[in-house]
Amino acid sequence: MSLEDLEKKIYGTRDISRKPRFEKDLKADKEVEDSEKGATPDSWERTEHDSYDEDSFFSKLSKRFLIIASSVVGIVILVVGYFVYQFFTVKEFSFDIIAPSEIRMGSPFDMRIVAHNNSPRVLKNTTLVFEIPEGAVIVGKPVGHTRENRILNDIGAGSVVEEEFKVMFIEGVKTKKKFNTIISYNPDTFGSARFEKSKDIDVVVTESVISLDVSLPEKVLSGDVFDVGLRYRNNADTELSNLELTVQYSKEFVFKSANPSPSKLNSFWELGSLLRGSEGEIKIKGSVLGKENTFFPMDIRISTTLMGEKYTVSAKHVDISIAASPLSLDVSMRGSSDGAFVKSGDRIHVVLHYKNMTDVALGNVVVRAQLIGELYDLGTLVTSGFFSSVNNTITWNVANTPFLRVLESNDEGTVSFDVSVRNDFIPKRLGDKNFVLKVRGEVESPTVPSYISAEKTIGLGNAEIKVGGGTLIDAQGFFRDAVSGIINGGSIPPRMNEHTQYTIHWIIKNSITDVVNIRVNAFLQAGVTWTGVVKSNVGSAPIYNPETQEIIWIIDRISAGRGFVNDPLEAIFQVEVIPSLLDVGRFKPIIGNTNLEARDSFTEAQIIVGDSSITTELGDDPTVDKGKGTVVK
């Protein structure tokens, strides 16, 4: 069958030149058929804006987008490829950290970092950061210097660079310590891009090069003299030099002697050099004064000096425990106004209660009480004991307390005294504040039970009490008050139904403690109005509430010594008075009682003080003669 016959079979007898090879041809055929039927073809209804070929337009946009996207992707691939190339080009750069797996504390050792550039490229601007853990030092650097930076400059292709650090452990026996190294560089083919590699290594701290053993009694009695033995030994493979031993005592420790004697300060020994395997010993004799069942620390360190820096090579911490005393003493203090604190002029009652806790009788017992604190009024002391003003100590013994001749097993008793707090103390410095009164008690007997290794049997007890401060407020009234800068109008004496102005001053002084949350208030009386003229020498000033006729002054804090060491706090406000017929012949009330409330920041006590009301009598104004404040018609 010919091609022409095949087309006729498919398309029928229609003109085969119009066969729909494309979709638009099919659409054109449809328009011809519609026109033959009298229908309006769709293409005739298109406006001039629709005359272009939409498929062709969007096809062009798609092609442009594809071209741009392909270009961007290509650039990204090139950049990423370059860095991948660089990475694989320099991937043969590596470094090793060479160090012992374990080392003694106090033994310097070398830590080597060996860098290999096996790539065909130069590594530029190479830097190394060496980080050491806590408890390690770089010899020659101060303790606390934990990061060392070094510049390696350029590392050529195929080159090997080595850096060395001398390191030592100064603490951390039987622990594992981690060291970290970071090397960064620029490949020579791409600007400022930097690469870095990091690696770490663990080193175990075994023991110290110098062993240090401390021997002392498991428990000691307060005041009992005991021995502390310090034995040290060189465990290193070499001689150690420039060695020093230092003991840090607690403040309660009383040094008696030592063998060998200290080089200085009862706590420092120059040991010098110590041969391999050799050892030494120091014996310290002393005592501790403190309450039973308490602990007091003692720190011992052996150090050496390397490259100008002092480092610890061995250390030991021990606690001294005070056993319960066979002769107990309890001291109590109580003030007359409040048990928690006392105030100026208060009476203090002190009781010392002692008891024999042993199974033997204790003879010739002596009880002492030392008064510590400058606010004691020692002239008011009342006691049955003997008082020494040299050291402010009261002593009770057989001479004044016969019961103390023999204190049988489990016997107990008390002694006491009374003393007042000074009421004449005036702060002279801003630091004169927060005073505490203390009593340091002691009971002793020359009798010592057989199971105690001591020169005498001693018991200790202490007590203390805080001294609260005092805040004062003074309310004053004036007619002539040029000093304040406020001019008052009216007449003296005040007249019925006529206006007269007055200034009221509130003056606050504070003694030996800081006070907070201060509130001062007073009420205007009948016929008195607030003029609004007010001033203050602090950040806040009084305000007036016309509904309640109340004047309120709020202050956040007043320091101790204010008004004694420097100027007092002061607020001034003006009021106007119009006396009535009922006021004639008497002093006209201006303001009621002034009240101050505050909190003592040292004792946490509430403070409530005040001053009396103010009338036209104006007792604080020297320019107003007596009786001239009486209201007249």
Strands 195-208 and 175-187: antiparallel
* Longest pairwise C-alpha distance within the chain: 156
Q: What local confidence, expressed as pLDDT, does residue 121 receive?
A: 84
Helices then strands, each counted (H, E), the chain: 3, 40
* Nearest partner of 371 among 438, 299, 469, 289, judged by Cα: 438
Instruction: Please identify which residue in the block is written with the tokens 């020579």.
Output: 188
Q: What local confidence, expressed as pLDDT, does residue 265 receive?
A: 87
Instruction: Please identify which residue in the block is written with the tokens 């003997």.
Output: 386
- Fold of the 93-208 domain: Immunoglobulin-like (2.60.40)
Neighbours of 451 (CB within 10 A): 9
DSSP annotation string for 476-498: EEESS-GGGT-PPPS-SS-BTT-
Structure tokens given for 177 = 């310590």
Strands (E), 61-174: 93-98, 102-105, 109-117, 123-131, 136-138, 147-155, 160-169
Which phi and psi (to 5°) does residue 57 adopt? -65, -50
Question: From CA 112, how far away is CA 208, in angstroms rounded?
Answer: 23
Q: Please state, rounded to an integer, the average pLDDT across all residues of the chain.
A: 85
Contact (Cβ atoms closer than 8 angstroms) between residue 462 and residue 438: yes
* Fold match, 93-208 / 471-615: yes
Q: What local confidence, expressed as pLDDT, does residue 226 receive?
A: 87
* Nearest partner of 368 among 389, 394, 390, 386, judged by Cα: 394
Contact (Cβ atoms closer than 8 angstroms) between residue 271 and residue 325: no
Q: C-alpha angle with apex 262: 257 to 266, nearest 5 degrees?
A: 65
Beta-bridge mates of residue 62? none
* Nearest partner of 415 among 458, 368, 351, judged by Cα: 351
Question: From CA 492, how far away is CA 577, in angstroms rounded?
Answer: 12
Structure tokens given for 65 = 């987008």
Structure tokens given for 307 = 């490259």
- Fold of the 471-615 domain: Immunoglobulin-like (2.60.40)
Tell me which CATH code domain 218-321 carries. Answer: 2.60.40.1510
Please, is 389 exposed, middle or buried when counting C-beta atoms within 10 Å of its C-beta (0-12, 13-18, 19+)? exposed
In this prediction, the residues of the chain whose per-residue pLDDT falls under 70 are 1-67, 69-92, 188-192, 338-339, 451-454
**Omega cis (within 30) before 297:** no
Question: From CA 74, how far away is CA 483, in angstroms rounded?
Answer: 89
Question: From CA 47, how far away is CA 27, in angstroms rounded?
Answer: 18
Sign of CA dihedral 75, 80, 82, 83: positive
**Omega cis (within 30) before 427:** no
Tell me which CATH code domain 327-467 carries. Answer: 2.60.40.10
* Nearest partner of 116 among 148, 80, 161, 154, judged by Cα: 161
Question: From CA 234, how far away is CA 255, in angstroms rounded?
Answer: 27
> Length of the chain in residues, anyone?
633
3-class SS string, 184-202: EEEECCCCCCCEEEEEEEE
**Could you tell me the residue ranges of all domains in the chain?**
3-50, 52-89, 93-208, 218-321, 327-467, 471-615
Q: Which helix (H) or strand (E) holds 75?
A: helix 54-90
Structure tokens given for 310 = 């002092």
Q: What CA dihedral angle connects 76, 79, 84 and 90, to 10 degrees?
A: -170
Q: Which helix (H) or strand (E) holds 88?
A: helix 54-90
* Nearest partner of 345 among 236, 420, 443, 266, judged by Cα: 420
Please, is 626 exposed, middle or buried when counting C-beta atoms within 10 Å of its C-beta (0-12, 13-18, 19+)? exposed
Q: What local confidence, expressed as pLDDT, does residue 383 receive?
A: 96
- Return the SS3 of 223: coil
pTM above 0.85, yes or no: no
